[in-house]
């Protein structure tokens, strides 16, 4: 009986999580573009001094990884990222 009660409890919790809050609709109509205008300016790149990242002996060469750029996942890159030249 306790196994059935446990399964029933899990099913009720799963149903409550899914049916809890209705999604917020995407705004439509004339008020849909009521976000404020862009304020600010493009970012200014600033170099950060750092030691050279060592090459991991069993991973892809630094700068050639498809996810983190190096095997130690520093997420530091030689080139700069987007600067926000236009809003």
Separation between Cα atoms, residue 78 and residue 5, nearest integer Å: 57
- Asked if residue 55 belongs to a domain, the reply is yes
pTM above threshold 0.85: no
| Stretch 10-29: mean pLDDT | 78
Contact residues for 60 (Cβ-Cβ < 8 A; gap 6+): 66, 71
Residue 29 tokens, joined: 């109509």
- Asked if residue 68 belongs to a domain, the reply is yes
pLDDT value at position 86? 66
Number of domain units in the chain: 1
Among 46, 32, 40, 27, which residue's Cα sits nearest to residue 87? 40
More confident residue, 2 or 21: 2
- Asked if residue 59 belongs to a domain, the reply is yes
Domain range spanning residue 61? 48-77
Residue 58 pLDDT exceeds 80? yes
- Asked if residue 71 belongs to a domain, the reply is yes
- Asked if residue 39 belongs to a domain, the reply is no
- Asked if residue 70 belongs to a domain, the reply is yes
């Amino acid at each position: 009986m306790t196994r059935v009660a446990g399964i029933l409890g899990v099913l009720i919790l799963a149903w409550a999580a899914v049916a809890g809050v209705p999604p917020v609709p995407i705004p439509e109509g004339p008020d849909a573009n009521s976000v404020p205008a862009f304020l600010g300016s493009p970012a200014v790149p600033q170099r950060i001094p750092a030691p050279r990242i060592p090459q991991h002996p069993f991973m892809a060469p630094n700068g050639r990884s498809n996810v983190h750029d190096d095997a130690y996942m520093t997420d530091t890159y030689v080139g700069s990222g987007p600067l926000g030249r236009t809003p």
